[in-house]
Structure 1
Amino acid sequence: MLASQILFILILIIFLKFIKIILKYIGDFRRKKDIKHLPIVPFVGHKFHLTKKRTELYDFFLELSKRFKNEPFWCLWIGTLPVAIVHHCDIVDAFFTSSQHTKKSWQYNLVHPWLGTGLLTSEAEKWYSRRRLLTKAYHFEILEKFNEIMNEHAELLVQKFENLLKDKTKIEIFKESKLCTLDVICETAMGVNLESQKSANLEYVSCVDRASKLLNDRFNAPWYWSDFVYYKTEPGKEFKKCLNVLHKFTKDIILKRDTEFDDLNLESKKKFAFLDILLMAKRSDSALTFQDIQEEVDTFMFEGHDTTASGLAWTILLLAENQKVQQKLYQEIEQELEQSNKQLTSSDLRKLKYLDCVIKESMRLYPPVPYIGRTITEDCVIGNHKFKKNDPVIIAVCSIHRDERFFAKPEKFDPDRFLNESEINKHPYCYIPFSAGRRNCIGQKFAMMELKIILTSVVRRFKIRSSKKLDDIVKVAELTLHTIDDVYVDLEPRF
């Protein structure tokens, strides 16, 4: 008798939950019917569209933005979940000009096992206090101290290219870019030189790469979004093993550096790391724990290498395909730097106006982070549409950057368009490679300095060519914009 009663209660609970899902779905469908979307299958949504190969989804999303270009946003139904895709810069004001809707979308929860709730994923007061603490780490005078490190690793990259050419080994540009930027961020964030450009077989290096790939795969597979399911699968088990290695590495570095840490003025030190700023803060704020510090260090490592590597690789590929632009850039470098072999300074970089335009135009066409996920934090109206609290939104940076109202011939690689800043400033959010507003990328000056130093070093030493056209390269937009296959470049020494 008791067993049948329990069974009845369970069936009743399941039935009520099912009814709740049905009612919510009907309510969401009525609310979202004014947003344009492709035809959907009830309760399935756009699943059949999303079952396209991951190699087709980036181009598919760009095509949908073109199809709905007169709409402020369009709707993507993932099963019963409606997601508004914002692709007009005049609509993103709501997410960048106030403190509302700064909460990241739920997909960022998948990053928590690696990064915890560091600056990328934290919210409310914790985010604000961390942002305030870390802002001083990106002060101009502190960034100046990282010039030497960036120059050293840029030179190592150039030397590695020369050795690979001598050995007649193909140069896979995304792989080599990642190793270089990983070395830079590891030394600037933790004060440790991995030397991954000399040996990519280090366990930490391989785990960073593998964990990033596994995380990308998980983002693209809804059936893996549940922790309960994911960590019972082989990819989930492998991801956990990688995290054990990564967390142990950063934890050991933090504890070791803490024991050696002194309280000298950081700015008086010739070399220091972002970690030192956190350790200094811990001495005056007992609430800041080693776990808190590790979250931020892991966030530095995660955000600071893959995104910059993406920007670097796409820029090199664009230069390979646009020889006139490459030659113009080379001429500027030779003219402004006067064949000096000294390490590049910020003063040198400020002279390279065209280099700045080249990088900006590259990130317009191929933003390292092509999509930004946000959550509506309170009921509101945006673009004449009523949003409810907790509605998910995706800001399509890659589509905003292709808006014909602000960029003539948007598919064309034309760095000259950035020579006239007034053209780009027609709208404050028509160009947002580093996001914008309160949650913009805190490390954008660091990233731009790193990109300029590495690109200057490469362009000065090599003519860059590629036998593969960019249109033929399969692009995949997940955590970062990358490629599905290896992409090789041909380098010819200039002297």
Structure 2
Amino acid sequence: MLTPSFHFNVLNDFQAVFDYQAKILVDQLEVAAAGNSEAIDTFPYIKRCALDIICETAMGTTVNAQTNHNHPYVIAVAEMNNLAFKFQRMPWLWLKPIRHLTGFEADHQRNLNIVTSFTKNVIERKTKEFEESGGVDVDGSNKKKAFLDMLIEMREDGGLVYEDLREEVDTFMFEGHDTTSAGIGWALWCLASHPEYQKRCHEELDTIFESSTRECTVDDIRKMKYLEKCVKEALRIRPSVPQFARTVDEEFEIDGTILPRGCSLLVSPAFIQNNPRTFPNHETYDPERFSEEEIAKRHAYSYIPFSAGPRNCIGQKFAMQEEKTVISWVLRRFELSSDLELLDNLPLPETIMRPTRGFPLKLTVRN
């Protein structure tokens, strides 16, 4: 039911949001880097940019996270992510009395109330607008629709109630900014560690934009063939989602072991995509792994940063378009470098593949 919401025509409408927020990001990075010879951690900037993008595209509202770092929703989202990972790796927190005694439950409830109240208010406002207009574009503006607008339009056909709308929007809000910010950050980190590949990206982007500061369009995105290879290779070596779970629908055998129906499997792109039998020198960052010739040699499921099959990531085209837009703006404005080697920044597999040291990059404004 939701798949049409990610048709390429819808993504085309979102491109203006990607472009606008990416420009705010590079302006903020330029201010932070001005007169500063030291590396700056770009990860918080990227996360705020991704949060603004998903707020506008998923809910049709803005929190201005890039300019308003103290917005309650921005802080609550960050806290919820921290609490979720803490809960996952500390089994004693699964006991309710301990959650209350340690204050975990109070922190969780406080932040949850902020997040759900914000979503509730947006849903109520959007629903009221939809009902008052009779479901039509009353002002004739034919303006772009957010994901929430589409959900409201299809709610009767799909039998959706308020709680369904809230859960879907909250899912996209969380999964739609943490994952893309990690993807953008790791791609920039890989390029900063490999100036030869960064140079080829600069050359490609200079050919497309001719050193102008004009907006990045959907047509421009399609022309970024080499940058796409670089993004895909970064997602191979450091997938945004390091692991995900699946339930076995039918009993089957693998390597002599019977896996019964109903059991859970943990699938790890972080291991699958770093298999030395499939990817020789797997720790080496090499965008040419994604040339057409190399892709044809591999099994289709040897590379699954967005999962695969009927339960794959519904937002993968959205993510790639956003990441290419934001990365292209950063590379149009800056040359990137780092004092650390690629592998010195160890990956921390939380809900997303987080860098242990952030993404400390030196940014030099390009001529």
* TM-score computed with the length of structure 2 as normaliser: 0.93
1:483 to 350, 355, 363: 355
Mapped to 2, the partners of 1:458 and 1:368 lie a distance apart of 19
Alignment of 1:231-246 (within 5 A): 231-246=100-115
Cα RMSD after superposing both structures: 2.0
Tell me the amino acid that sits aligned with residue 2 of structure 2: L
Q: Secondary structure of the equivalent of 2:302? A: coil
**C-alpha deviation, 1:478, in angstroms:** 1.8
Larger radius of gyration: 1
- Specify whether residues 486 and 281 from structure 1 end up closer, same or farther in structure 2 by C-alpha distance, changes over 3 A only: same
Q: Is the 8 A contact 1:406 1:423 kept in 2?
A: no
Tell me whether 1:172 sits opposite 2:172 in the alignment. Answer: no
Tell me whether 1:336 sits opposite 2:208 in the alignment. Answer: yes
Q: Is the 8 A contact 1:466 1:490 kept in 2?
A: yes
Q: Is the 8 A contact 2:204 2:224 kept in 1?
A: yes
Mapped to 1, the partners of 2:97 and 2:355 lie a distance apart of 30
Tell me whether 1:154 sits opposite 2:10 in the alignment. Answer: no
Alignment of 1:1-16 (within 5 A): none
Alignment of 1:107-126 (within 5 A): none
**C-alpha deviation, 1:260, in angstroms:** 1.3
Q: Is the 8 A contact 1:187 1:273 kept in 2?
A: yes
- Specify whether residues 174 and 421 from structure 1 end up closer, same or farther in structure 2 by C-alpha distance, changes over 3 A only: farther
- Specify whether residues 303 and 406 from structure 1 end up closer, same or farther in structure 2 by C-alpha distance, changes over 3 A only: same
**C-alpha deviation, 1:239, in angstroms:** 1.3
Would you say how many aligned residue pairs link Structure 1 and Structure 2? 362
Mapped to 1, the partners of 2:244 and 2:262 lie a distance apart of 16
1:271 to 141, 144, 147: 144
Mapped to 2, the partners of 1:483 and 1:352 lie a distance apart of 26
Tell me the amino acid that sits aligned with residue 296 of structure 1: E
What do residues 169-219 of structure 1 show as CA deviations (whole Å, max 9, x unaligned)? 863222111100000000000111211101111110000011101111211
Mapped to 2, the partners of 1:191 and 1:230 lie a distance apart of 35
Mapped to 2, the partners of 1:414 and 1:378 lie a distance apart of 38
Q: Secondary structure of the equivalent of 2:348? A: strand
Tell me the amino acid that sits aligned with residue 179 of structure 1: R
Identity of aligned residues (%): 36
Q: Is the 8 A contact 2:245 2:265 kept in 1?
A: yes
Alignment of 1:299-310 (within 5 A): 299-310=171-182
Q: Is the 8 A contact 1:465 1:490 kept in 2?
A: yes
2:240 to 368, 375, 397: 368
1:142 to 10, 22, 38: 10
Q: Is the 8 A contact 1:164 1:170 kept in 2?
A: no
Tell me the amino acid that sits aligned with residue 325 of structure 2: I
**C-alpha deviation, 1:265, in angstroms:** 6.4
Mapped to 2, the partners of 1:179 and 1:195 lie a distance apart of 8
Mapped to 2, the partners of 1:227 and 1:421 lie a distance apart of 54
Tell me whether 1:184 sits opposite 2:50 in the alignment. Answer: no
Tell me whether 1:280 sits opposite 2:146 in the alignment. Answer: no
What do residues 116-145 of structure 1 show as CA deviations (whole Å, max 9, x unaligned)? xxxxxxxxxxxxxxxxx2101100101100
Aligned twin of 1:326: 198
Tell me the amino acid that sits aligned with residue 409 of structure 1: N
Tell me whether 1:293 sits opposite 2:161 in the alignment. Answer: no
Mapped to 1, the partners of 2:208 and 2:28 lie a distance apart of 26
Aligned twin of 1:450: 322
**C-alpha deviation, 1:396, in angstroms:** 1.6
**C-alpha deviation, 1:283, in angstroms:** 4.4
What do residues 374-419 of structure 1 show as CA deviations (whole Å, max 9, x unaligned)? 2334433223211223433211211110122322211110001212
Of stretches 163-172 and 430-439 in structure 1, the one that deviates more from structure 2 is 163-172
Alignment of 1:382-461 (within 5 A): 382-423=254-295, 426-461=298-333
Structure 1 unaligned segments of length 5 or more: list them.
1-132
Mapped to 1, the partners of 2:110 and 2:118 lie a distance apart of 13
Mapped to 2, the partners of 1:248 and 1:302 lie a distance apart of 15
Mapped to 1, the partners of 2:190 and 2:316 lie a distance apart of 21
Mapped to 2, the partners of 1:268 and 1:280 lie a distance apart of 17
Mapped to 1, the partners of 2:352 and 2:359 lie a distance apart of 16
Q: Is the 8 A contact 1:406 1:424 kept in 2?
A: no
Aligned twin of 1:193: 62
Q: Is the 8 A contact 2:120 2:166 kept in 1?
A: yes
Tell me the amino acid that sits aligned with residue 316 of structure 1: L
**C-alpha deviation, 1:467, in angstroms:** 1.5
Tell me the amino acid that sits aligned with residue 309 of structure 1: S
Mapped to 2, the partners of 1:334 and 1:491 lie a distance apart of 18
Tell me the amino acid that sits aligned with residue 205 of structure 1: V
**C-alpha deviation, 1:421, in angstroms:** 4.7
Q: Secondary structure of the equivalent of 1:429? A: helix
Of stretches 426-435 and 232-241 in structure 1, the one that deviates more from structure 2 is 232-241
**C-alpha deviation, 1:147, in angstroms:** 0.4
What do residues 271-311 of structure 1 show as CA deviations (whole Å, max 9, x unaligned)? 220000011112445x3111110000000101100000000
Mapped to 2, the partners of 1:490 and 1:323 lie a distance apart of 13
Mapped to 2, the partners of 1:373 and 1:385 lie a distance apart of 19
Q: Is the 8 A contact 1:374 1:394 kept in 2?
A: yes
2:94 to 225, 233, 236: 225
Mapped to 2, the partners of 1:466 and 1:157 lie a distance apart of 19
Mapped to 2, the partners of 1:380 and 1:170 lie a distance apart of 51
Of stretches 400-409 and 352-361 in structure 1, the one that deviates more from structure 2 is 400-409
**C-alpha deviation, 1:245, in angstroms:** 0.4
Q: Is the 8 A contact 1:181 1:308 kept in 2?
A: yes
Tell me whether 1:202 sits opposite 2:71 in the alignment. Answer: yes
Q: Is the 8 A contact 1:282 1:288 kept in 2?
A: yes
Q: Is the 8 A contact 1:424 1:431 kept in 2?
A: no
Tell me the amino acid that sits aligned with residue 314 of structure 1: W
Mapped to 1, the partners of 2:96 and 2:355 lie a distance apart of 27
What do residues 58-108 of structure 1 show as CA deviations (whole Å, max 9, x unaligned)? xxxxxxxxxxxxxxxxxxxxxxxxxxxxxxxxxxxxxxxxxxxxxxxxxxx
**C-alpha deviation, 1:227, in angstroms:** 4.9
Aligned twin of 1:349: 221
